[in-house]
């Protein structure tokens, strides 16, 4: 693996959800040894790094995002020795390992919280966010939990409320206490010393809360917008429970620690509504905080040239010296093939279109496990759900289990080759039909296209590190150039389900097509013709 201090800039990251990747023990849940076994598949895609969702000790109330020990592996995933073996094999294959860090909150079973809730005068009494009730006994303010209901839970021992932005079993740590920051950074150092290459910071803009506990104002929503909401959390303008300015000071401390080690990087998850890109700008600018961040701008239902153009323009305008990591799917949202494929459309065509688009965007990119197979969202029965979010808001919102079902490796094997036991979530027959062994040697498969596109992207500096310039285009066509050094590429995408023509501006006259995988667009004179969900990538003289 080649040393490079900016390896993260323009890199391709592959996200693994450990519980669903590969089981080696027969207990129905994936494990670290399973990931090690499948690293060769990941390396074959042509990605640079692997992001692992949490594998730390946890009661698993929120599938590992409720950590009870930041410095150990949960037995369901294996041991620290298994982790070390996985790191060594990844590095041998030229892959970097990025691990999740869930710092905004812990499990209520973490020893820190057990001590904190025991009294108001113990050494860790101020390690979490505690507050007295209002005179009428109600919660300190109007803050809401993303997972439903108030963001405050009453504790009968301390006779106070504690803050939880997510489950009541996920109490928020008090970042206004320097000792808390020190303890969390010590946990980060533990993994740095174990040779991890970077960190994905969960809910990075949730770390710090308003010390005055001011109420959030209502968000101005139309009746139509309110009718679409399944969660009252979206009714508030979250000015005081997240994205506080004091967060920047902690991020500088975090970056200072990372910079003590060679070739390390960080990517933050920013969920901040319409302010997300401004938050990314603040968190990644100046070279002293996060290396890059990703938002939910491309993780929603919007699929159009206008929407992507708007996102690119907003990023280029807002994030002047920072960096973004684009993703279309992850473990928290409906798979993009399902979100974006029209009723009469082809999921396979959408999968191939999406990887071409993702590969051409300026920024780093993140691919979610199973995306390379063109997997659609799994339809699960209520009794199969384990996600507390989905159980709470069913049936208006079905939760996140549909994108977390196990990876299908062998089409004819039990549970798609994921486990010899009962899988923790069902493996749909439709997913087995798209298993790795079905696509491995099939020319024209989604898997083959991912490998081809990612290989092409890696060889073009204009795509990995180059600038971007948006061009005018008609209808549902997106067109832009990417440029680095003497290399300049024209990239065009037709989002429509019908062919489209676009007049090329004079600035890209003389463009010639190149062998971009799957590109079928044609230039005749000054007109570019694209098929439905068509792609064109050409080189400018």
Locus of tokens 């995002």: 65
Q: How far is CA 212 from the centre of its chain?
A: 31
Q: Are 295 and 186 in the same domain?
A: yes
Q: Are 391 and 512 in the same domain?
A: no
Is the backbone peptide bond immediately before 24 cis, with ω within 30 degrees of 0? Answer: no
Q: Are 429 and 533 in the same domain?
A: no
The Cα–Cα gap between 407 and 405 comes to 7
| Inter-residue contact 128 to 191 (CB < 8 Å) | no
Q: Are 373 and 480 in the same domain?
A: no
Q: Are 389 and 504 in the same domain?
A: no
- Among 31, 27, 75, which residue's Cα sits nearest to residue 53? 31
Euclidean distance between the first and final Cα of the chain, in Å? 34
| Inter-residue contact 16 to 51 (CB < 8 Å) | yes
The Cα–Cα gap between 151 and 143 comes to 5
Q: Are 263 and 366 in the same domain?
A: yes
- The per-residue pLDDT for 274 is 84
- Among 287, 319, 93, 290, which residue's Cα sits nearest to residue 204? 290
> Which residues are within 8 A (CB) of 350 and not within 5 positions of it... i.e. 6 or more apart?
336, 337, 340, 341, 374, 533
The Cα–Cα gap between 500 and 505 comes to 16
Neighbours of 437 (CB within 10 A): 15
- Among 226, 127, 222, 116, which residue's Cα sits nearest to residue 173? 127
Neighbours of 200 (CB within 10 A): 25
Total count of residues recorded for the chain: 541
Neighbours of 40 (CB within 10 A): 11
Q: Taking the complete model, does pTM exceed 0.85, yes or no?
A: yes
Task: Collect the ranges in the chain with pLDDT lower than 70.
Answer: 1
Q: b/e for 43-77, b at 16 or more Cβ within 10 A?
A: bbbbbbbbbbbbbbbbebbbbbbbbbbbeebbebb
Q: Are 383 and 248 in the same domain?
A: yes
The Cα–Cα gap between 231 and 389 comes to 10
Query: For residue 148, is it within any domain?
Result: no
Give me the active site residues, please: 202, 269
CATH number for 84: 3.20.20.80
Query: For residue 4, is it within any domain?
Result: no
Q: Are 489 and 444 in the same domain?
A: no
> Which residues are within 8 A (CB) of 478 and not within 5 positions of it... i.e. 6 or more apart?
305, 308, 309, 357, 492, 493, 495
> Which residues are within 8 A (CB) of 220 and not within 5 positions of it... i.e. 6 or more apart?
none
Q: Are 330 and 378 in the same domain?
A: yes
Q: Are 518 and 394 in the same domain?
A: no
The predicted-structure confidence for 269-318, as pLDDT tens digits, reads as follows 999 888 898 899 999 999 999 999 998 999 999 999 999 999 999 999 98
- Among 535, 500, 541, 498, which residue's Cα sits nearest to residue 517? 535
Query: For residue 498, is it within any domain?
Result: yes
Looking only at the bridges linking them, the beta strands covering 56-57 and 49-52 are unpaired
Q: Are 259 and 325 in the same domain?
A: yes
CATH number for 479: 2.60.40.1180
Distances (CA, A) of 516 to 51, 276, 286, 463, 465: 27, 32, 35, 12, 18
Query: For residue 173, is it within any domain?
Result: no
Query: For residue 130, is it within any domain?
Result: no
Quote the domain boundaries for residue 403.
12-103+178-209+244-458
- The per-residue pLDDT for 510 is 86
Domain boundary among 419, 437, 458: 458
Query: For residue 427, is it within any domain?
Result: yes
* Strand ranges, E, within 2-60: 12-16, 49-52, 56-57
Distances (CA, A) of 388 to 59, 67, 163, 423: 13, 16, 18, 18
Specify the number of domains making up the chain: 2
Sign of CA dihedral 241, 245, 246, 251: positive
Strand partners, 97: 50
What's the helix, strand, coil split of the chain in %, to 5? 30, 20, 50
Q: Six-digit token pair at 35?
A: 């990931």
Domain boundary among 458, 481, 502: 458
Domain boundary among 458, 487, 512: 458
Distances (CA, A) of 277 to 316, 325, 479: 10, 11, 21
Query: For residue 454, is it within any domain?
Result: yes
Q: Are 355 and 472 in the same domain?
A: no
Furthest-apart CA pair in the chain: how many Å?
Answer: 78
| Three-state secondary structure of 338-370 | HHHCCCCCCHHHHHHHHHHHHHHCCCEEEEECC
Query: For residue 146, is it within any domain?
Result: no
- The per-residue pLDDT for 4 is 73
Q: Six-digit token pair at 123?
A: 């050494």
């Amino acid at each position: 693996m080649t040393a490079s201090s900016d390896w993260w800039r323009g890199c391709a990251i592959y996200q693994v959800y450990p519980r669903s990747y590969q089981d080696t023990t027969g207990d129905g849940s994936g494990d670290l040894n399973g990931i090690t076994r499948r690293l060769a598949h990941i390396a074959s895609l042509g990605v640079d790094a692997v992001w692992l969702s949490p594998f730390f000790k946890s009661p698993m109330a929120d599938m590992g995002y409720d950590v009870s020990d930041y410095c150990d592996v949960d037995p369901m995933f294996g041991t620290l020795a298994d982790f070390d073996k996985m790191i060594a094999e990844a590095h041998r294959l030229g892959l970097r390992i990025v691990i999740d860090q869930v710092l905004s909150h812990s499990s209520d079973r973490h020893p820190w919280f057990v001590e904190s809730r025991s009294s108001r005068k113990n050494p860790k009494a101020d390690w979490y966010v505690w507050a007295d009730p209002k005179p009428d006994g109600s919660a300190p303010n109007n803050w809401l939990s993303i997972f439903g209901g108030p963001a405050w839970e009453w504790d009968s021992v301390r006779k106070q409320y504690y803050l939880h932005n997510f489950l009541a079993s996920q109490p928020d740590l008090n970042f206004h206490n320097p000792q808390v920051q020190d303890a969390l950074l010590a946990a980060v150092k533990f993994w740095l010393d174990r040779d991890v290459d970077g960190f994905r910071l969960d809910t990075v803009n949730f770390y710090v809360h308003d010390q005055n506990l001011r109420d959030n104002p209502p968000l101005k929503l139309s009746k139509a917008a309110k009718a679409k909401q399944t969660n009252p959390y979206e009714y508030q303008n979250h000015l005081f429970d997240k994205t506080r300015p004091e967060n920047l000071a902690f991020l500088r401390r975090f970056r200072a620690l990372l910079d003590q080690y060679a070739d390390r990087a960080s990517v933050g998850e920013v969920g901040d509504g319409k302010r997300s890109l401004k938050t990314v700008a603040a968190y990644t600018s100046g070279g002293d905080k996060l290396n890059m961040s990703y938002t939910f701008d491309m993780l929603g239902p919007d699929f159009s040239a206008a929407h992507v153009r708007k996102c690119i323009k907003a990023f280029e305008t807002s994030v002047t010296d920072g960096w973004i990591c684009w993703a279309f799917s992850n473990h928290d949202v409906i798979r993009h093939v399902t979100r974006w494929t029209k009723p009469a459309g082809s999921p396979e065509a959408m999968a191939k279109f999406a990887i071409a688009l993702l590969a051409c965007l300026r920024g780093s990119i993140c691919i979610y496990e199973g995306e390379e197979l063109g997997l659609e969202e799994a339809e699960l029965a209520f009794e199969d759900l384990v996600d507390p979010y989905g159980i709470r808001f069913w049936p208006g919102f079905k939760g996140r289990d549909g994108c977390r079902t196990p990876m299908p490796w062998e089409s004819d094997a039990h549970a798609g080759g994921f486990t010899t036991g009962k899988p923790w979530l069902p493996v749909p027959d439709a997913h087995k039909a798209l298993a790795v062994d079905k696509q491995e040697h099939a020319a024209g498969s989604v898997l083959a296209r991912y490998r081809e596109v990612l290989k092409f992207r890696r060889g073009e500096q204009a795509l990995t590190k180059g600038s971007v310039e948006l061009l005018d285009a008609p209808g549902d066509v997106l067109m832009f150039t990417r440029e680095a050094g003497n290399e300049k590429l024209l990239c065009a995408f037709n989002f429509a389900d019908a062919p489209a023509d676009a007049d090329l501006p004079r600035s890209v006259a003389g463009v010639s097509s190149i062998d971009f995988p799957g590109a079928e667009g044609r230039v005749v004179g000054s007109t570019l013709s694209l098929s439905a969900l068509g792609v064109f990538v050409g080189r400018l003289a």
